[in-house]
Amino acid sequence: MVDRQPTSHERMAGQSWDASYTGDEPAPWDIERAQPVVERLAAAGAFTDPVLDAGCGSGENALHLAARGFSVLGFDVAETALAGARAKADARGIAAEFVVADALQLEQLGRAFATVLDCGLFHAFDNEERSRYASSLAAATESGGTVYVLCFADYGENQGPHPVAQAELRQAFAASSGWQIVSIEADRVLTRFHGDVGAPAWLATVRRL
């Protein structure tokens, strides 16, 4: 258990992140496989050890990378999700580490990573939290390291909740805060409610200065 305040999403939903994993139905974002963009990035050689999976949930993205030989640490505040991730790792014989941590206090990890993956965490924060999150990520990202952010986007039809504008990504990862936006590209994020095509998304590639 980590000492933290409920996030804006938890306050709006009226329940903790952990509660998303304890009901009868799977969490909407828990698709029981890695996101296609993660598979594509991994196949293209876009990851460098060590890798941090931010808000890893039940671990599918982290497990996909670990199965490819990467040293991966996944963190989340949902202990039920982490227990599931560890069980999957054991069942599949994959070496991956999963810990409880607060995305807004990553300096407490005491570690820095060459690559950080964020699939669906950034868009769950409000503007104030996004600024804090970017500062927190800076403490856990090596100089010259890369952060990949996949988040719901504000274009197209059938958008996901909390859609993000490109300007909001640029504001959070500003050069004045030690970041460089390398690219922001249109992509898709799969959920249980968006079918095989997924929801409109941005894939931001961000470099730690």
Express each pLDDT in 58-96 by its tens digit.
999 999 999 999 999 999 999 999 999 999 999 999 999
- Decide if 151 contacts 170 (C-beta within 8 A): no
Amino acid code (one letter) for 75: F
Spatial distance between the Cα atoms of 70 and 60, rounded to a whole number of angstroms: 14
* Amino acid 1: pLDDT: 56
Q: For residue 67, is it within any domain?
A: yes
State the CATH number of the domain containing residue 95: 3.40.50.150
Question: For residue 199, what are the domain limits?
Answer: 8-208
Q: For residue 148, is it within any domain?
A: yes
Residue 3 has pLDDT above 60, yes or no: yes
pLDDT tens per residue, range 151-160: 999 999 999 9
162 by Cβ neighbours in 10 Å (0-12 / 13-18 / 19+) ranks as: middle
Q: For residue 169, is it within any domain?
A: yes
Q: For residue 3, is it within any domain?
A: no
Domain count, the chain: 1
Residue 10 has pLDDT above 70, yes or no: no
- The chain-wide mean pLDDT, for the chain, equals 94
Q: For residue 171, is it within any domain?
A: yes
Which of 24-33, 50-59, 164-173, 184-193 is predicted least confidently?
24-33
> What's the pLDDT band for 7 if we cut at 50, 70, 90?
confident
Residue 199 has pLDDT above 80, yes or no: yes
Q: Are strands 113-119 and 51-54 parallel, antiparallel or unpaired?
A: parallel
CB neighbour list of residue 8: distance below 8 Å, 6 or more residues apart: 124, 125, 126, 129
